[in-house]
């Protein structure tokens, strides 16, 4: 009798609540990349917010992978149900760690790195030719690194108006160079539905590298003709992919 009751109780628990992956998400958490801040998501956030989504833009400190993961996990903890977790660039490393959360319905990568467990950016980039964006990385006077503001409009935001690209260059947050050596401990994309937006005119994370990340995570791929700042220049397209992931 005890075993029968236990079985019935388990069945009630299973059928009483639909799995998170099967439920539509109304919560969207946006994670920015290196050499940017949370305002890089403003246009996408405005589009999604106008459609009734609850949107959170994480302010990554870029001081370490652990710090960025902690900031993203704090944002996830504040959500009240199924959530789509979205990343740009370096943010892909962050959501790979933080996305192993029961609330996360799907992961969306926008011109983002998608490391496997045990990989670092340094390992991913080893052996390949550095991109124009990588060549433009410079140390600042505090031991962190930035993209040379003079090169930023070309290598990071080539499809934005010059004034807008220059403003982004001035707003960029410096990154701890140790972030490039940080080894991942989790690759949440193994256990979640994945969506990838490839920016085909990207001079920072080349489109072919993006396609490799998307392929190995078996992501649903959307390609857009955009620079590394495609989340801004093609915000409508990016928001559309996020909406698809939320359904």
- This prediction's pTM: 0.92
Compute the residue count for the chain. Answer: 247
Q: What is the per-residue pLDDT for 21?
A: 74
Helices 65-77, 91-98: axis angle to 10 degrees equals 60
Task: Point out the least confidently predicted range of 11-15, 106-110, 134-138.
Answer: 11-15
pLDDT at 15 over 50: no
Q: Across all residues in the chain, what is the average pLDDT?
A: 93
- Is 151 in contact with 168 (CB distance < 8 Å)? no
Summarised one tens digit per residue, pLDDT across range 125-156 is 887 899 999 999 999 999 999 999 999 999 99
Q: What average pLDDT score do residues 36-52 get?
A: 99
- Is 28 in contact with 215 (CB distance < 8 Å)? no
- Show the domains of the chain with their CATH numbers: 27-246 (3.40.50.1820)
SS3 string of the chain? CHHHHHHHHHHHHHHHCCCHHHCCCCEEEEECCCCCCHHHHHHHHHHHHHCCCEEEEECCCCCCHHHHHHHHHHHHHCCCCCEEEEEECCHHHHHHHHCCCCCEEEEEEECCCCCCCCCCHHHHHCCCCCCHHHHCEEECCCCCEEECCCCHHHHCCCCCCHHHHHHHHHHCCCECHHHHHCCCCCCHHHCCCEEEEEECCCCCCCHHHHHHHHHHCCCEEEEECCCCCHHHHCHHHHHHHHHHHHC
């Amino acid at each position: 009798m005890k075993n029968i009751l236990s079985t019935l109780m388990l069945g009630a628990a299973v059928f009483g609540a639909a799995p998170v992956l099967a439920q539509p998400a109304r919560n969207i958490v946006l994670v920015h990349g290196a050499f940017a801040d949370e305002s890089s998501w403003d246009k996408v956030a405005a589009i999604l917010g106008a459609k009734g989504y609850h949107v959170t833009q994480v302010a990554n400190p870029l001081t370490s992978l652990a710090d960025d993961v902690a900031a993203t996990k704090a944002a996830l903890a504040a959500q009240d149900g199924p959530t789509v977790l979205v990343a740009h660039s370096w943010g892909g490393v962050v959501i790979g760690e933080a996305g192993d959360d029961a609330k996360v319905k799907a992961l969306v990568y926008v011109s983002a790195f998608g490391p496997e467990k045990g990989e670092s950016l340094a390992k991913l980039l080893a052996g390949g030719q550095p991109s124009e964006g990588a060549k433009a990385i410079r140390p600042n006077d505090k031991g962190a690194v930035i993209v040379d503001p003079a090169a930023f409009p070309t290598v990071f935001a080539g499809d934005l108006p010059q004034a807008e690209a220059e403003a982004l260059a001035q707003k960029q947050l410096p990154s701890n160079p140790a972030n490039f050596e940080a080894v991942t401990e989790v690759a949440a994309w193994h256990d979640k539905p994945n969506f990838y937006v490839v920016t085909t005119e990207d001079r920072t994370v080349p489109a072919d590298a993006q396609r490799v990340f998307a392929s190995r995570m078996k992501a649903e791929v959307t390609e857009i003709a955009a620079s590394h700042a495609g989340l801004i220049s093609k915000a409508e397209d990016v928001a559309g992919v996020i909406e698809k992931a939320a359904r």
